[in-house]
Amino acid sequence: MQGPFSTRRGAGLYLLAWLLLAIVFAGLIVAASGAAWTDGLLFTVPVTLLYACATGFSSYYLCRAYPLNERSAISVLLVFAVAAVVASLAWTALCIGWNHACAAIAMSAPLQAAIFGLGVILYALCAVAHYLAFEFQRARAAERRELEAALTSQDAELRMLRTQIDPHFLFNSLNSISALTSIDPARARDMTLQLADFFRHSLGLEASRKVTLEAEAAMAMHFVAIEKVRFGARLNIEQALDAGALDCLLPPMILQPLIENAIKHGIAHLTGGGTIRIAARRAGSILKIVVENDIDNDPPAAASHGIGLANVRQRLAATYGNEASIHWTREAHQFRVALSLPFHTTERQACA
């Protein structure tokens, strides 16, 4: 069933509103004719509720047939004027017939005219209410489409940013394997196997789906294992992940670019190697991650951070907006990257 009776709650509220109108109508009848309240209610309640049903369906389907954005104002006004007059005439006739049957009040000509005018007004109000409901539904639909478009755009942006990571990382890894093949084939083979294992684990990670910090840290260690084949004892890693932070969800492959950046622009320039330190802790509703690495006190003039840090910043902005941030600082012998993002443990919290 459509119209005002499409749901039980809607039908109940609609009839309750008309019942209140019937009581007000009875009060006017009592004041105008001097009838008792019981007679006034006996007269108004049945005819008003019946008029409510007829008017509700009639105005609903006319509003559907004459939408404001597709019909001219003159045609809409003309159609509803005719419909209101016809409905009010029928209601006035019904009131007269019902009054003859129950002999509740004295039906004078002025009272009949007042009933007719009230019927026109009620029909018009009902039509306006339907148009407002339609406009509200259309606004809600437009808002929903806009939200879906924004989510689709965000998902596409996240996928694009994610696709920057794999080719960039693969390019650097293949260069390392190429360099090892001529000086240490065994290590080149080991690095190739480690690289295949890393990509096998990362294939199931979707750009828009989040993973726990524990799983993300495990993926980061796969990447470190690949690089340790090349750097050996020169590359050291330290982790300090609070147990309370391991369940937090975050975008996949968010740590790998930071570690790659630390190796390429930090450890690789140190003759004696260095250490990368990863720490994570929960601070209320915020997850704080810090990645630090040793650096050369006098780095090459052309040194840069490539796309890694910029990629992480863009992904955080696309996923969390202003709720997440990334900052990096450089000291005498250390480079430090600090991430701050909302602490969510379920996808529902992240979507909210």
Over 90: is that where the pLDDT of 196 sits?
Answer: no
More confident residue, 5 or 195: 195
Over 90: is that where the pLDDT of 213 sits?
Answer: yes
180-199 mean pLDDT:
82
Rounded to the nearest integer, the mean pLDDT of the chain is: 83
Q: How far apart (Å, rounded) are the C-alpha atoms in residues 222 and 267? A: 18
191-220 mean pLDDT:
78
β-strands 211-212, 249-250 pairing: antiparallel
Name, in order, each residue with C-beta under 8 angstroms of 264's C-beta and a sequence gap of 6 or more: 172, 306
More confident residue, 303 or 95: 95
- Give just the sign of the alpha carbon dihedral 91, 97, 101, 107: positive
What pLDDT sits at residue 157? Answer: 60
Long-range contacts of 197-201, Cβ-Cβ distance < 8 Å, separation of 24 or more: 197/222, 198/222, 198/223, 198/225, 198/226, 199/166
More confident residue, 291 or 167: 291
Over 60: is that where the pLDDT of 282 sits?
Answer: yes
Look at 89-103, 163-177, 276-290, 317-331 and tell me which has the smallest mean pLDDT: 163-177
Two structure tokens written together for 256: 């790998």
The architecture (CATH level 2) of 184-351 comes to 2-Layer Sandwich (3.30)
Confidence of residue 203 (pLDDT cuts 50, 70, 90): low
Residue % of the chain over a pLDDT of 70: 86
More confident residue, 278 or 7: 278
Residue 142's H or E segment, with its range, is: helix 109-183
SS3 of 155-171: HHHHHHHHHHHHHHHHH
225-254 mean pLDDT:
89
Name, in order, each residue with C-beta under 8 angstroms of 62's C-beta and a sequence gap of 6 or more: 79, 80, 83, 127
Spell out the domain ranges in the chain.
3-144, 184-351
Q: Residues 78, 82, 88, 92: what is their CA dihedral angle, to the nearest 10 degrees?
A: 150
What pLDDT sits at residue 160? Answer: 58
pTM over 0.85: no
DSSP line for 168-224? HHHHHHHHHHHHHHHH-HHHHHHHHHHHHHHHHHHTT--SSS-EEHHHHHHHHHHHH
What pLDDT sits at residue 1? Answer: 44
Look at 49-58, 156-165, 267-276, 280-289 and tell me which has the smallest mean pLDDT: 156-165
Look at 119-123, 167-171, 228-232, 280-284 and tell me which has the smallest mean pLDDT: 167-171
Two structure tokens written together for 83: 């419909």
pLDDT digits (tens, 9 = 90+) for 74-119: 988 999 999 999 999 999 999 989 888 887 787 788 888 988 999 9
242-264 mean pLDDT:
89
Name, in order, each residue with C-beta under 8 angstroms of 189's C-beta and a sequence gap of 6 or more: none
